[in-house]
Homo-oligomer: A and B are copies of this chain.
């Protein structure tokens, strides 16, 4: 069992995430997925990592891993400013609601997704959403690409305290995805 950064996210229960330290291993899991989806939350446009906007890293990940994007919150606007069109435009709770249904066709109408990757969703809300998927979406796996760690995901990062470490994580991940 693991401890996330935020106390309010401490898991009360039994089924907790596998912590994956190695970004290369993350890349491997993403690559193996058939219909992955990358969900971007508002923290990606409200926060920097070092000098760059969090979103830039996420877009690089999406590009390298050929992940379709679901823009939640007001992320869409900043994406359009960068001329990237999100593949869908649900808010976080809405997309999770859709993902619960194994019959849903997914953002590309090709069938529901088998791997969900999250970044930049408000940590307590993401954790609630991951709990929903853990219970009601056994047909897919969830990955929290979040430095604060998420016990309710299937795969999570360890807590990453330093910006530099976080940047480095992203860089290796992106390298391994391409």
Contacts and interface: CB of A to CB of B under 8 A. Distances in A.
Interface of A: 1-3, 7, 10-14, 16
B13 A10 contact: yes
Contacts of A7: 14
Contacts of A12: 12-13
Contacts of A13: 10, 12
Nearest to A7: B14
A2 B1 contact: yes
A1 B16 CA distance: 10
Contacts of A1: 1-3, 11, 16
Nearest to A10: B14
Contacts of A14: 3, 7, 10
A151 to B, nearest CB: 9
Contacts of A11: 1
A125 to B, nearest CB: 20
A16 B12 CA distance: 12
Contacts of A16: 1
A3 B1 CA distance: 7
Contacts of A3: 1, 14
A2 B11 CA distance: 12
Determine which residue in A1, A2, A13, A16 has the highest number of CB atoms from chain B within 10 A of its CB, and name it: A1
